[in-house]
Structure 1
């Protein structure tokens, strides 16, 4: 997300790909690579609670299936890992991060969990996916960005194929996109061929999250007890998030529209 960042610099380090900076504000802490784009943002008193809308939206697959194993591609400040770790006590989490310096900063400054349930691999996402056993994960959250743009790998059919192979039969894929994908474009058509369910979510700042699920689902109404239970686990406004889901396939029906 793009802002003019002027917080207090708490930490700064450099690697072969450039700067990794931690900025502090009164209530929040931000990870940035260029002091223009917020790569990650946490509430300093609740680091497990996602701040950005797109981070919250990326968790929507949990409405349809609770993962026993989750994979996060692009760890950043560890926001997704912290949220999953807090919300799902039995879930094992595998984070893949290209830059070791970023993973170290996530642990030291963003309270990313470091226990037996969390495993971090320093690697490009594509070879890491290739090494994963077929059907070995229930959820893949892909947020692959450099300092100012999304990694083009995330939009490639081969990347989607690798994710599909790694996902279990109940699995879900969520992709953070900086632009709206064309509904009849190569990516969306390929997703529709592989997955019976495809959704799109648009944030207030015009980020887009694409979801692809291996099983047909019904979108619950805002007053669904399941959403209320999720809200108690992680208070991010699940009902409002679900209302913004836009079905991109013919499989989906909203529960309130389903005939009795």
Structure 2
């Protein structure tokens, strides 16, 4: 499931309604966009109908920034929503395999039918609880994990648990990346921040216009300021999301004292 973005009012026409044991799923169209909502107040996903592979929300675009440093061969996405992030990854990484875990079968069906998520051997969706799925991934089996676990009105508490961070770290390859989308910044001296610093030698953070906080950790140390303009230009040609402008909002996530 995708991040919640609250607007004063979601305008447009409801073009599809489904429901399951978790509640309603609405597809809403306006002249330019298609929106996935679980309650008609919060946006779970949003796409431009003429370019469904290009993420609209800044936090979604920011979640792709780790690819400026490394191009993963194996990507794991936790939480599908309308599939905009998965679609962008599929377009951006033509040689990579992308595995998505989504809790709700009907959300997966709607992403395919209404949000142009491509049918591809490189893009697979597994329906099930992502919190359990990450525990079962073999050690070192993926190069990048992007986690965006939200229900209709809140972030999944799993994303803020030390055990979840540990499981993600174990599933990552030696140079793997973890990218987390949080609805608020973790306390610098809290257990979550301490665990992130234990697992990752250097952390970056991005604050979006919607006050989402995207945190990036890599299993090996790296120079976060080493990106070249030509690299960002090449990425922009593959997926136009304003890579250079986004990277200017990256900051180091400071380490609290006595984290061990």
Q: State the TM-score bracket (shorter-chain normalisation).
A: over 0.9
- Match of 1:35, SS state, is coil
4+ aligned runs moved over 4 Å, structure 1: none
1:196 aligns with 2:201: yes
- For residues 52 and 72 of structure 2, the distance between their equivalents in structure 1, rounded to whole angstroms, comes to 21
Partner of residue 29, structure 2: 24
Stretches of structure 2 lacking an aligned partner (at least 5 in a row): 256-260
CA contact (8 A) 2:69 2:227 kept: no
Within-5 A mapping of 1:2-81: 2-3=6-7, 4-81=9-86
Shift of 1:219: 2.6
Partner of residue 89, structure 2: 84
Partner of residue 244, structure 1: 249
CA contact (8 A) 2:12 2:28 kept: yes
- Match of 2:60, SS state, is helix
Partner of residue 258, structure 2: none
- Match of 1:219, SS state, is coil
- Match of 2:82, SS state, is coil
- For residues 178 and 165 of structure 1, the distance between their equivalents in structure 2, rounded to whole angstroms, comes to 24
Higher relative contact order (CA 8 A, sep 6+): 2
1:96 aligns with 2:96: no
Shift of 1:243: 0.9
Stretches of structure 1 lacking an aligned partner (at least 5 in a row): 251-260
- For residues 221 and 241 of structure 1, the distance between their equivalents in structure 2, rounded to whole angstroms, comes to 15
Q: 1:130 aligns with which of 126, 135, 142?
A: 135
Shift of 1:222: 7.4
- Match of 2:40, SS state, is coil
Give me the TM-score of the superposition, normalised by structure 1. Answer: 0.93
1:144-203 deviation digits (Å, cap 9, x = unpaired):
000011000110001101100111111111111111211222111110011112111101
CA contact (8 A) 1:73 1:141 kept: yes
Shift of 1:204: 1.2
Change (3 A) 1:179 1:200: same
- For residues 107 and 202 of structure 1, the distance between their equivalents in structure 2, rounded to whole angstroms, comes to 30
Change (3 A) 1:55 1:242: same
Give me the TM-score of the superposition, normalised by structure 2. Answer: 0.93
1:108 aligns with 2:116: no
Give the number of equivalent residue pairs.
250
Give the stretch that moved more between structures: 148-157 or 1-10. 1-10
Shift of 1:215: 1.6
- Match of 1:13, SS state, is strand
Shift of 1:6: 2.3
Within-5 A mapping of 1:161-172: 161-172=166-177
CA contact (8 A) 1:139 1:172 kept: yes
Change (3 A) 1:151 1:138: same
- For residues 222 and 32 of structure 1, the distance between their equivalents in structure 2, rounded to whole angstroms, comes to 36
